[in-house]
Chains A and B, each alone.
Chain A
C-alpha cells in the first residue's frame, strides 16, 4: 500500500493568513493526488483533484501543486469557514490511502 504522510499535523493561524500543507507519498504517484476538507461531524468534501484541479464550487483561494512524491495544498487569505481538517489522498492505485490529516484552527 502507498503510505501518505502529511505535515504539519496541526497548525494555528488567523483569518487572512496564507497556509501551506504538505503531503508526501511513499512512492511516485505522478499527479494522482486529491485533497479533501472535513469539518467536525461532517463528511469530507473534495477540494482539489489530480494535484492541482479545483473542484467545481471551491473558492479560488485554494490551490494545489506538486508531482511525484511531494505535494502541497495552499489556502490564501484564510477565511473563517476554512478552519477544518484537511486530508490528502492518493488516487494512483488501490487501495486509495489518506494522509493522517492536518487540523487548521484559530490562533
Chain B
C-alpha cells in the first residue's frame, strides 16, 4: 500500500524557518518526482514545486510565489522528501501536502500538515 505522511508542521513566527518531511512507503520512491502543495484556509490548491527523480535530472522547480524562500530536496535512500521554508510570512499559513505520481499528475497524496505563521 502506498503511503505518504507529512510531518513538521506547527506554529511559527513570521520570518522564521520550518522544515517539513514527507515519509513514504509502498512504492519505488527513487523512480518518481515528489511534489509539494499547499491550501490556505478555505482556499484552493496551490502547487509549490517538485523535485524530479534522478532519471529525469534530479532537479527542482518552484512556483514563483515561493521561489528563493522554499527549497525542496529528497533522500532516495530513506524515501523521504523535504520542504525547507525560510522567511515565512503570515500568508504562508496553510495545510501543506506532499504528493507523488508521474510528472504533473498526482496519484498519491499525504494527509497534510498545518503550518501556521503568526506572532
Contacts and interface: CB of A to CB of B under 8 A. Distances in A.
Given A34-B105, A91-B105, A101 B44 contact: yes
B101 interface: yes
A42 to B, nearest CB: 7
Interface in B66-119: 97, 99, 101, 103-107, 109-112
Given A49-B105, A91-B103, A91-B105, A44 B61 contact: no
Contacts of A89: 45, 104, 106
Interface in A42-60: 42-46, 49-50, 55
Nearest to A4: B44
A55 B44 contact: no
A96 B104 contact: yes
B111 A43 contact: yes
A92 B104 CA distance: 8
3 closest residue pairs by CB, A with B: A43-B109, A91-B104, A96-B104
Interface of B: 44-47, 61, 63-64, 97, 99, 101, 103-107, 109-112
Interface of A: 32, 34, 36, 38, 42-46, 49-50, 55, 87, 89-101
